[in-house]
Amino acid sequence: MSEHNHVVNKEGEMALNKVDDALRRMDGERKEDILENFDAFKRYLGGRIEVAQSIGLSEEMMAKAAEKIGDYLAANEEPRNREEKLLQELWKAGEQEHRHALAHILVRLVRTTP
């Protein structure tokens, strides 16, 4: 895959406008595996956070990416379990600053190292 398709470039900068494209390109079966239960979702998000930490992204950049993912999921995916349903309801009830705070909480929830 060429670099222009990646969300993070080789300098470690994040192109938040490419997050939606990356999510849309994800294989349906892979997406289903991730969203089928909350633990699988946390493992997936935790893996992405681990990669982000390894290339030096700040918590703020990780939260912004998590916020983009949350926006995508709230708009395009039906919750598959009660935890996802609760997250979707919280996401939709909150204003932008609430969703951003929730994104920070999700990053901290799945983070492997502080």
Residue 93: per-residue pLDDT: 97
Write out pLDDT tens, residues 38-90: 999 999 999 989 988 898 999 999 999 999 999 989 998 999 999 999 999 99
For residue 29, give the 3-state DSSP assignment. helix
Separation between Cα atoms, residue 86 and residue 88, nearest integer Å? 5
Domains and CATH numbers, the chain: 10-112 (1.10.760.20)
Write out pLDDT tens, residues 16-46: 666 667 777 888 888 888 889 999 999 999 9
Residue 7: per-residue pLDDT: 63
Residue 13: per-residue pLDDT: 55
pTM for this model (two decimals): 0.77
Give the tokens for residue 7. 């969300």
Nearest to 32 by CA among 81, 71, 89: 81
| In the predicted structure, residue 97 carries a pLDDT above the cut 90 | yes
pLDDT band at 113 (very low <50, low <70, confident <90, very high): low
Strands (E), 1-114: none
